[in-house]
Amino acid sequence: MGAVKDQLLKTTSISGERINIRRANENDAPAMFEIFSDPATVEFIHVPQAKSVQDTLENSIRGFHMSDPLGKWVIALKDSDWVIGGIDLRLTPDEQDAEIGYVLGSKYTGQGYMTEAVQMLLKYSFETLGLSKIHSFHATENPKSGAVMQRAGMHFVKLIPNHEEIDGVKIDSLFYEINHHEYDQQLFWAKFKKLQPDAQFGSAWAFGDFAEMATELAQLVLDGTKTATASAYVEYQLEDEALPEAFKGYDILLNGNDEPVAILQTTQVKTVPFNKVDAEHAFKEGEGDRSLEYWRNNHLRFWQQAFAEKGLEFDPNQAKIVLEEFKVVYK
């Protein structure tokens, strides 16, 4: 048994704000019968409708949970310990990634319990188990499950046709995931939001086109050396992306490992011809010897190569450049 699987097996409970995720026991049979005897609850899961409390005890608790407890828990209300749902974590063979599956009794939906449970399991998966990626999916006819995934921080990836068969019927599924970098970025943003509750998120990005450059330039920002950047205007057109605006939203700056290092706010934006970028702006970009000559040579080389890879030509006599200035508001 690998270290991750061993840790998973040892985890008998996870405590939350309103709920606990814990191992099932035989005393949970009445509560779990209430859940799994409801046709609305079992409509989109691979569990037959429970016929009795004894049936639930034998099949759900003893047959599923207690016979192989690895990554299997029930969701219980913290104040009463009454079971309201179930959640499980299914490791991939390499123990690097996992799938989350869950079910919630229909009378407990719409109260945020399932979102809380998924967030608790994501925290455990990334912070305790050190997993790389978590995914989940839901039937297209069950959009409420997708809403839980989105609220928990997962993002839609793709539609999988005929992904599952339930009661002999093939159904399509919508696939969601989150990796540990995205999870870290969300935590970083959440900490900032506590200080700036009205802050609007823009995007998460890194400088440069390779990891070493991204880390080097991010450090210049953290040091206070780099307070400006530049982009080719045509790139916004090609990607059908709006130009940045001053004091509109906040961005997460990443290093070369996709780790969040700072939150930036754009303070000034202007568009000028390449040959009109001045020494003041070059100095604020903070790269090399901070001279205009260095800025022109370095950026000309960068954009000529980037454009060539797209089958385009960068003409410094015609190109327009979007110049941005920014400030670090959190790090």
Q: What is the pLDDT of residue 202?
A: 93
pLDDT at position 169, please?
84
Residue-wise pLDDT tens digits, 106-161: 999 999 999 999 999 999 999 999 999 999 999 999 999 999 999 999 999 999 99
Give the mean pLDDT of 255-271. 97
Model pLDDT for residues 148-195, shown as the tens digit of each residue: 999 999 999 999 999 888 778 898 999 999 999 999 999 999 999 999
pLDDT tens-digit profile of 185-243? 999 999 999 999 999 999 999 998 889 999 999 999 999 999 999 999 999 998 888 99
Please tell me the pTM assigned to this model: 0.87
pLDDT at 1: 67
Instruction: State the SS3 of the chain.
Output: CCHHHHHHHHCCEEECCCEEEECCCHHHHHHHHHHHCCHHHHCCCCCCCCCCHHHHHHHHHHHHHHCCCCCEEEEEECCCCCEEEEEEEEECCCCCEEEEEEEECHHHCCCCHHHHHHHHHHHHHHHHCCCCEEEEEEECCCHHHHHHHHHCCCEEEEEEEEEEEECCEEEEEEEEEEEHHHHHHHHHHHHHHHHCCCCCEEEEECCCCCHHHHHHHHHHHHHCCCCEEEEEHHHHHHCCCCCCCCCCCEEEEECCCCCEEEEEEEEEEEEEEHHHCCHHHHHHHCCCCCCHHHHHHHHHHHHHHHHHHCCCCCCCCCCEEEEEEEEEEEC
Instruction: Write out pLDDT tens, residues 36-73.
Output: 999 989 888 888 899 999 999 999 999 999 999 999 99
